[in-house]
């Protein structure tokens, strides 16, 4: 880590294969074109060629996930140019400088596509996910740094503070899911917790090694470039998970199920409807 002005430089692309001098946190002030905003996170376009994602809820590991995928696969992801960080009010404030990817999100484009176009996109996405599944795992369920899996279940729940490391076994992961469920729902779901303790070690078991998982597979996180190439964005939740996790997350995030997206999810991903229903039920009970 090097010190530069009022921020630390955690990573910078040494190839210098970028069209203009890299923007810094100071370049955001007064020159931002806001692309997206959520609690603790903003995405702005700078100098036409770059986007910067920054905020208190932005973490360096999102960029490291993209760097890892870009290095080990041919999956289309935004190029990461730099990672900066500084402290503001005793909290880390992270900036990820990325390539601006022109195009339209698959969510906004979906209604204008015909069946053949949807199928072609889903099949391309299938090639991406096949590559992710073939990456050599590190022997644990968790993030690429060996920490806990990146998911709201392990970071935005009552029991999140107890999850400090990865899980060596699938049994350990399942046990933690049940423990978090109980801490989140309390006595109102105590009987359901006992039921889950009985059945989940059987119904969630994949008996397979961890696979690298994007963990937020939604149309809003896929940009279709003008040449038709899908680019997957938002890698903040990517981790090593059981084989069923990607499909389970994708179906849980399908919202109102008011169109045919689910028909193409099963082209892009292997289906795990059993595990998906169990995990979706738990999440609904915790967060509804």
Secondary structure in 3-state letters for 125-183: HHHHHHHHHCCCCCCCEECCCCCCCCCHHHHCCCCHHHCCCCECCHHHHHHHHHHHHHH
Pairing of strands 7-12, 2-4: antiparallel
10 close to 83: Cβ distance less than 8 angstroms:
yes
The band of 39, judged by pLDDT with boundaries at 50, 70 and 90, is confident
Q: How far apart are CA 219 and CA 168, in angstroms?
A: 32
**Using CA atoms, how far apart are residues 167 and 137, in angstroms rounded to an integer?**
13
* pLDDT > 90 fraction of the chain, expressed in percent and rounded: 77
Contact 262, 251 (CB under 8 A): yes
For 173-190, write each residue's pLDDT tens digit.
Answer: 999 999 999 999 999 999
Query: pTM of the predicted model, to two decimals?
Result: 0.93
Question: pLDDT of 246-287, one tens digit each?
Answer: 999 999 998 778 999 999 999 999 999 999 999 999 999 998
Is 223 within 8 Å of 233 (Cβ atoms)?
A: yes
- Which of 39-43, 100-104, 129-133, 263-267 bottoms out in mean pLDDT, i.e. has the lowest? 39-43
Which tokens in the block code for residue 216?
């937020």
Q: What is the pLDDT of residue 234?
A: 97
Higher pLDDT: 111 or 28? It is: 111
Please enumerate in sequence order all residues whose Cβ is within 8 A of that of 39, keeping only pairs 6 or more positions apart, or say none.
Answer: 57
* pLDDT tops 60 at residue 170: yes
The partner residues of 189 in beta bridges, in order of sequence, read none
Query: To the nearest whole number, what is the mean pLDDT of the chain?
Result: 92
List domains and CATH numbers for the chain: 2-99 (3.30.200), 102-288 (3.90.1200.10)
Which of 100, 101, 67 has its CA nearest to residue 83? 67
pLDDT of 1 > 50? The answer is no
Write out pLDDT tens, residues 98-114.
999 999 999 999 999 99
**How many residues comprise the chain?**
288
Condensed to tens digits (0 to 9), the pLDDT of residues 44-72 reads 999 888 999 999 999 999 999 999 999 99
Q: Which of 2-16, 115-129, 130-144, 155-169 has the weakest average pLDDT?
A: 2-16
Choose among 74, 39, 69, 71: nearest CA to 57. Answer: 39
232 pLDDT exceeds 60? yes
Round to the nearest angstrom and report the end-to-end CA distance of the chain. Answer: 42
d(CA 11, CA 180): 34
């Amino acid at each position: 880590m090097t010190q530069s002005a009022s921020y630390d430089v955690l990573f910078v692309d040494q190839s210098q294969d970028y069209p203009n001098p890299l923007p810094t946190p100071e370049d955001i002030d007064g020159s931002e074109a806001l692309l997206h905003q959520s609690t603790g996170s903003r995405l702005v376009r700078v100098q036409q060629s770059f986007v910067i994602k920054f905020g208190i809820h932005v973490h360096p590991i999102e960029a490291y996930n993209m760097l890892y995928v870009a290095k080990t696969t041919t999956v289309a992801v935004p190029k990461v140019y730099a990672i900066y960080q500084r402290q503001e009010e005793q909290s880390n404030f992270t900036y990820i400088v990325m390539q601006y990817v022109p195009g339209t999100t698959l969510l906004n484009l979906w209604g204008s596509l015909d069946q053949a176009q949807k199928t072609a996109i889903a099949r391309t996405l299938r090639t991406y996910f096949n590559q992710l599944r073939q990456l050599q795992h590190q022997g644990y369920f968790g993030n690429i740094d060996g920490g806990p899996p990146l998911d709201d279940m392990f970071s935005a729940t009552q029991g999140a503070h107890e999850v400090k490391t990865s899980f060596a076994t699938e049994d350990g992961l399942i046990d933690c899911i049940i423990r978090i469920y109980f801490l989140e729902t309390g006595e109102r779901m105590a009987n359901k917790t006992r039921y889950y303790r009985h059945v989940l070690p059987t119904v969630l078991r994949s008996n397979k090694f961890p696979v690298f998982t994007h963990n937020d597979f939604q149309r809003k996180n896929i940009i279709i470039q003008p040449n038709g190439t899908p680019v997957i964005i938002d890698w903040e939740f990517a981790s090593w998970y059981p084989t069923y996790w990607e499909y389970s997350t994708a179906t849980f995030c399908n919202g109102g199920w008011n169109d045919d997206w689910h028909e193409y999810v099963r082209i892009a991903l292997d289906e795990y409807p059993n595990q998906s229903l169990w995990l979706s039920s738990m999440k609904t009970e915790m967060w509804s």
